[in-house]
């Protein structure tokens, strides 16, 4: 990445050993979500993949929906921990816009790519259901997105778009949608047509965002291979 680019990592809080079986069931479900939809996954499959039993599953969860809620609580814990680290006031001091964009794209790409099945399930639930609980969850994710956008808006002096606030909103929306479409829904026709490597995909997202907000772009050799390192 360009000079002074901070690295942002997705933070996964450690779980106590007493939750080992819970974690195996959760990880088994996350793996299965990469292969099929949540609705298609059976409790028997989850238990087998986790090296447990159906009885072991029901000893911890009343049903599959309760397991999803457990996964979502885990995700929100990771989101909160990542947000705490990401928004350390010293992290972004004197960092120009392009390295900020690069760091944020690397984080979003790797998190979504590594958990594509879970994010796909979450997105479909948001589209299909409008319960108060889902609305609250969506609002909390929106707060995280707004905080990320503010990191970019801090460099408004580099932005020549006539409306920097709108530009950062629209620009971040576009790059996030592009990442989600590529990794969460890889079998769509337009995703298949864009047959480029992750390195090229990230580089062009950076270039597109900066062009849209009216900021300068400098080729960054260190963007290469960064997707495989995070």
Q: Which residue from 72, 51, 81 is spatially nearest to 115, judged by alpha carbons?
A: 72
Model pLDDT for residues 89-143, shown as the tens digit of each residue: 788 989 999 999 999 999 999 999 999 999 999 988 888 877 787 888 788 888 8
CA dist., res. 95 & res. 5, Å (int):
7
pTM over 0.85: no
| 3-state class (DSSP) for residue 185 | coil
What's 9's DSSP letter?
A: -
CA dist., res. 143 & res. 155, Å (int):
20
Q: Which residue from 83, 88, 165, 75 is spatially nearest to 117, judged by alpha carbons?
A: 75
Q: Whole-angstrom distance between the N-terminal and C-terminal Cα of the chain?
A: 13
CA dist., res. 87 & res. 39, Å (int):
36
More confident residue, 186 or 228: 186
Q: Which of 49-53, 185-189, 207-211 has the lowest mean pLDDT?
A: 185-189
Domains parsed from the chain with CATH numbers: 17-228 (1.10.357.10)
SS3 of 29-50: the string is: HHHHHCCCCHHHCCHHHHHHHH
Number of residues written out for the chain: 230
On the 0-12 / 13-18 / 19+ scale of CB atoms within 10 A, 87 is middle
More confident residue, 188 or 215: 215
Average pLDDT of the segment spanning 191-207:
91
């Amino acid at each position: 990445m360009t000079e002074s680019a901070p690295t942002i990592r997705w933070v996964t809080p450690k779980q106590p050993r007493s939750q080992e079986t819970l974690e195996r069931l959760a990880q088994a479900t996350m793996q299965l979500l990469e292969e099929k939809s949540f609705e298609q996954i059976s409790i028997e499959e989850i238990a087998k993949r986790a090296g447990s039993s159906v009885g072991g599953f029901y000893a911890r969860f009343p049903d599959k929906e309760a397991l999803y809620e457990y996964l979502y609580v885990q995700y929100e814990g990771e989101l909160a921990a990542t947000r705490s680290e990401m928004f350390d006031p010293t992290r972004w001091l004197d960092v120009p816009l392009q390295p900020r964009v690069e760091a944020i794209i690397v984080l979003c790409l790797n998190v979504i790519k590594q958990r594509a099945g879970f994010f796909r399930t979450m997105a479909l639930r948001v589209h299909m259901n409008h319960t108060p609980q889902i609305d609250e969850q969506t609002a909390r994710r929106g707060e995280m997105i707004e905080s990320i956008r503010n990191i970019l808006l801090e460099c408004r002096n580099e932005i020549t778009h006539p409306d920097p606030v709108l530009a950062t909103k629209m620009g971040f929306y576009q790059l996030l949608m592009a990442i989600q479409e590529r990794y969460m829904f890889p079998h769509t026709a337009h995703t298949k047509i864009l047959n480029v490597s992750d390195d090229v995909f990230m580089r062009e997202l950076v270039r597109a965002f900066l062009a849209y907000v009216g900021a300068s772009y400098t080729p960054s050799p260190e963007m290469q291979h960064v997707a495989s390192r995070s």
